[in-house]
Amino acid sequence: MARLVLKFGGTSVADLERIRTVARHVKREVDAGHEVAVVVSAMSGKTNELVAWCREASPMHDAREYDAVVASGEQVTSGLLAITLQGMGVDARSWQGWQIPLKTDASHGSARIESIDAEKLVGRMSGSETGTPQVAVIAGFQGISPDGRIATLGRGGSDTSAVAIAAAVGADRCDIYTDVDGVYTTDPRVASKATRMDKIAFEEMLEMASLGAKVLQVRSVELAMVHGVRVFVRSSFDDPEAPELATDTPVGTLICDEEEIMEEQVVTGIAFSRDEAQISLRRVKDRPGVAASVFGPLAEAGINVDMIVQIISADGATTDITFTLPEGDYDRAVGILEHPESGIEFDALNGSKDVVKVSVIGIGMRSHAGVAADAFKALSEKNINIRAITTSEIKISVLIDAAYTELAVRTLHSLYGLDAA
């Protein structure tokens, strides 16, 4: 018998028929003798609708009331799933974040989890409090702030809720059910020969999630790595009664410690992000503190920058500074840098929104030389120009023109032997 936390996203609970399928997945685990908690998202599209209502009611709405509205989507789903499970003969009860309680900081709309008191939850799951085990159906994406009000965790917060609850209850595994059957070496829609991985290390998944892979929310992977929560990504669209799902090795991808992976590939996957823009400041007056004068105001405005490249002129009098940032922040960043009060002295500002960041990821890169050189050579042979490069122990990222995205991804995917046989 294991203790499991199952998480189902918006597409998995999109309507009552899908909720009935989710209930069958839950019942399968209960019938196998496992202690089960379920974390659910709002029905697909519901959160967007609720957010739109808040904005329509008042563009400058109170963040606390915003949370009260948007958290209702998950509350509806948790209640409906509990009712459905009860109708199938499974003892189940819905829980809101404040009932656990899952305590957050005061940042309404993008709160961070500070603590979870899981004693009562564990008592229900194990049956020590009720006499028989009870499935806890938990509304994801929400907790209770220091002012005693509902606080939401931001986009993708249900993944974060699930991993945090798994850590708090000491779960053997956290199963993330989604609309794909695992984590692939790259997006199969771009590279048809992409393959599903059986296992991937926390660090690799963190890089892939932060660099464009949409399977898991970045904060949830961070939490899993810090607390050692084994996460299993699997499909909610599989037949719940399929014999292979009742085995110890169902179809999916396990995200785990590096030590659990017997053979490390040099490269695990290729990620890419289309949400990129590039800004270049030409002939900036070079002096101590110039980088701070550029990036300080951007940081104060909440704009994250990446892939910073600085080139000093031969005479040392000026420098060119190039960096990337989210495409949605491009116009705001340009306004900040060009504002007369910024005090930044430069001759020209060039920029582009038509760029893509492509990344090569793998923990095996730590012990293998030449991985970057091979990538650069392969891209050059395809006449793909590299605008900027950043590297880490387990990652190489290049910025290229958006028109070459698919070609670059397929080229690198084949280069490192990731294509399906």
Mean pLDDT in residue range 388-396 = 90
The answer on 97 and 245 residing in a single domain is yes
Task: Please check the confidence at residue 160 and state whether its pLDDT lies above 80.
Answer: yes
Statement to judge: residues 331 and 410 lie in one domain: yes
For the four alpha carbons of 161, 164, 169 and 171, in that order, the dihedral sign comes to: positive
Mean pLDDT along residues 268-286: 91
| Total domains present in the chain | 2
Domain presence at residue 211: yes
CB atoms within 10 A of CB 29: 20
Q: Would you say residue 138 lies in a domain?
A: yes
Please state, rounded to an integer, the average pLDDT across all residues of the chain.
91
Give the Cβ contact number of residue 334 at 10 Å. 14
Contacts of 372 (CB under 8 A, 6+ apart): 391, 396
- What pLDDT shows up at residue 311? 86
297 and 385 share one domain: yes
Residue that wins the pLDDT comparison between 82 and 308: 82
**Percentage of the chain surpassing pLDDT 70?**
97
pLDDT in tens, 113-139: 999 999 999 999 998 887 899 999 999
Shared domain for 254 and 299, answered yes or no, is no
The pLDDT of residue 263 is above 70: no
375 domain residue, yes or no: yes
Q: What is the CATH number of the domain that holds 59?
A: 3.40.1160.10
What is the strand order of the sheet 135-139 is part of?
Answer: 92-95, 135-139, 35-40, 3-8, 173-178, 231-235, 253-256, 199-201
173 with 242, same domain? yes
- Residue 420 inside a domain? The answer is no
Cα separations in angstroms, 270 against 118, 148, 251, 399, 419:
38, 43, 21, 14, 11
**What whole-number distance in Å separates Cα of residue 68 and Cα of residue 276?**
33
Question: What does DSSP say about strands 3-8 and 35-40: parallel, antiparallel, or unpaired?
Answer: parallel
CATH number of 322's domain:
3.30.2130.10
Residue found under tokens 């309507």: 15
Confidence tier at 366 by pLDDT (50, 70, 90): confident
> Is 421 within the bounds of a domain?
no
Domain boundary among 224, 258, 292: 258
End-to-end CA distance of the chain: 37
Query: What pLDDT digit, counting tens, does each position of 13-56 carry?
Result: 999 999 999 999 999 999 999 999 999 999 999 999 999 999 99
Model confidence at 240, pLDDT cuts 50, 70, 90, reads: confident
Taking the C-alpha atoms of residue 319 and residue 310, their distance in angstroms, rounded to an integer, is 7
- Quick check: 16 and 182 in contact, CB under 8 A? no
Burial environment of residue 222 by CB neighbours within 10 A (0 to 12, 13 to 18, 19 or more): middle
Same domain for 289 and 242? no
Residues 118 and 251 in one domain: yes
> Of 368, 367, 279, which is closest to residue 326 (Cα–Cα)?
279
Same domain? For 365 and 218 the reply is no
How far apart are alpha carbons 193 and 189 in whole angstroms? 9
* Cα gap 78→263, rounded to integer Å: 40
* pLDDT value of position 129: 80
282/253 same-domain check: no
Residue 264 lies in a domain: no
Instruction: Give the domain-ending residue among 258, 287, 320.
Output: 258
Domain boundary, last residue among 258, 283, 316: 258
Give 289's pLDDT tier (boundaries 50, 70, 90): confident
In a domain, 202, yes or no: yes
300 with 232, same domain? no
**ω into 101 cis (within 30 of 0):** yes
Same domain, 325 and 281: yes
Domain limits at 391?
Answer: 270-415
| 27 and 137 together in one domain | yes
Q: pLDDT at position 285, please?
A: 85
User: d(Cα 159, Cα 114) in Å, to the nearest integer?
Assistant: 16
Instruction: Give the predicted TM-score (pTM) of the model.
Output: 0.87
Within a domain: 342: yes
Encode pLDDT of 69-81 as tens digits: 999 999 999 999 9
Q: What is the pLDDT of residue 246?
A: 63
